[in-house]
A and B are shown apart, each in its own frame.
Chain A
């Protein structure tokens, strides 16, 4: 089963992609902390855009606007029927054209029902 996790970056800002162009940049990364009755949780990131900013010599691999991460799960073989939540943390670091903000973490919760 695949779950889309929508992400929106405020207008004028961008976050580094999951594979930033420079070693020093902090990547976007979703990490699951608790899967409950699910297994897997592999995350597919969309194709980043390459944007040129005044503070970098080369274009940077970034996400901006609205996009979605896709997480893939399987139901654990011994899962009991009932509701559950897969919980994760999305670490991101945002900048605009001339300013950067400290890395932050957003909670991600995926509610599910095992039948």
Chain B
């Protein structure tokens, strides 16, 4: 079922009602400290107040390669609306393989190299891609394990962007293993 939501001025954008969890069921996304391609430290908490797609992926992962151009497009369309994509590459070889991939594809969002600590905080993240949709309060509104549909991401992002911000105090969050998939 589709639900029309009104976002200030402009035409309503139809989004699927079931794209994200109800607010009361969301858990805080664990904060992490990773470095991007320029060596700059990235904390998830830096993005509090924004809607975030947090994508765990790897260069050897075919389904991940399908989704990345979608994320680039969603980033391009929503960057000025309080939205960011963050990629966490799980390649053991690190920047040696990730950097050429990002350059070749022209990835337009920040990507960090993941580590075991971050992976464990997010429930292990063994299956790739695993993508978390995080609301403006820093809470996990949806989890997609495996190749999802572009529309699921677009609807989820739109739904969260249209929701009023309820920014909670920044915290470390808790492990999200109990969340499971989807």
Residues of B at under 8 Å CB distance from A? 58-66, 90, 92, 101, 126-129, 145-147
B127 touches which of A22, A24, A100 (Cβ 8 Å): A100
Which of these binds chain B: A4-12, A32-40, A49-57, A69-77? A49-57
Contact A102 B147 (CB under 8 A): no
Q: Which of A80-88, A91-99, A106-114 is the interface stretch? A: A91-99
**What's the tally of chain A residues with a CB closer than 8 Å to chain B?**
18
Contacts of A24 in B (CB 8 A): 59-60, 65, 101
Cβ–Cβ contact A55 & B126, under 8 A: no
| Dominant secondary structure of chain A at its interface with chain B | loop
Inter-chain contact A95/B63, CB cutoff 8 Å: yes
Q: In the bound complex, do residue A54 and residue B147 qualify as a contact, i.e. CB atoms below 8 Å apart?
A: yes
Q: Determine if A55 and B66 form an interchain contact, defined as CB atoms under 8 angstroms apart.
A: yes
Given A54-B147, A55-B63, A101-B126, 7 other A-B residues pairs in contact with their CB atoms under 8 A? A25-B62, A55-B65, A55-B66, A55-B147, A100-B63, A100-B128, A102-B126
Q: Are B128 and A101 in contact (CB under 8 A)?
A: yes
Does A46 have its Cβ within 8 Å of any Cβ on chain B?
A: no
A71 shortest CB reach to chain B, Å: 26
Chain A positions within 8 Å of B127 at CB level = 99-101
Partner of A102, one of B90, B145, B146: B90
Report 13 cross-chain contacts, Cβ distance below 8 Å, ordered by A residue.
A22-B62, A24-B59, A24-B60, A24-B101, A26-B60, A95-B63, A98-B147, A99-B147, A100-B60, A102-B58, A102-B92, A102-B128, A103-B60
